[in-house]
Structure 1
Amino acid sequence: MAEPVTITLTGVTATGHHGVFAHERRDGQVFVVDAVLQVERPRLADELATTVDYGALAAAIVARIERDPVDLIETLAVEIADALAATPLVVAASVTVHKPQAPIAVPFGDVAVTVTRRSAP
């Protein structure tokens, strides 16, 4: 019997070169990702093979932030959510990408985009 589990990764941080401005692409900036994963795993199982390796998923998030620049954090969020939702045992993935150093001319606390994806049936 399967058991639903929620796994949350908060504050996965890396430097990327995403953005529409030349200085963002050239200099890079910090991006922070939060991911909430809905996982179906065998009930009463106590082995890593019966769930997702959140350390490996965090490393995959960092790798995605660090490579292949995109213009929009919406695109980055979609790409990360799609990859996480394609992970075995993951039923759904909700990903928030924060861009705390966004080039905004007024004081602000954060800019974030959230995307949710379900795994293919």
Structure 2
Amino acid sequence: MTDRITLRGLRVRGNHGVFDFERRDGQDFVVDVELELDLAEAAASDHVDDTVHYGELAGRLAETIAGEPVNLIETLADRLVAVCLADDRVAAATVTVHKPQAPIPHEFADVAVTLRRTR
């Protein structure tokens, strides 16, 4: 599959983490998503119903990020991949969850987990 829909930099506040203060205070999470699917029908019809509506997908992902807290960003990424694969047209999904405010006592550029799942 060579067709892709990509959504990068979705920033949503969530209360995920293993520490009490992370769950209490929350922090921003940044998510990148890449969907692999056949876009030939959408390209031919020029109709949004023939593709994955990335705006609606962003809304569902945001609800998940802002929703039920989890300890690990691995678990959050797994939940987000499931949201992506809920559309039967998606053959594979790759989700990266960045935690820019991770409680690390050193300067760092990024902490992220990436999961790729296929049907």
2:16 is equivalent to residue 36 of structure 1: no
Unaligned runs of 5+ in 1: none
Q: Distance in 2 between matches of 1:76 and 1:19?
A: 10
TM-aligned CA deviation for residue 4 of structure 1: 4.9
Runs of 4+ with deviation above 4 angstroms: none
- Note the C-alpha offset of 1:39: 1.4
TM-score, normalized by length of structure 1?
0.92
Hey, which of these two has a bigger chunk of strand by percent? Answer: 1
Q: Name the CA distance, whole Å, in 2 between partners of 1:19 and 1:34.
A: 19
Q: Which moved more, 1:35-44 or 1:93-102?
A: 35-44
Amino acid at match of 1:26: R
Q: Kindly, what percent of the aligned residue pairs are identical?
A: 49
Structure 2 gaps, min length 5: none
> What secondary structure is seen at the aligned counterpart in 1 of 2:38?
strand
Q: What residue in structure 2 maps to residue 81 of structure 1?
A: 81
Aligned residues: 117
SS of the residue 1:30 aligns to? strand
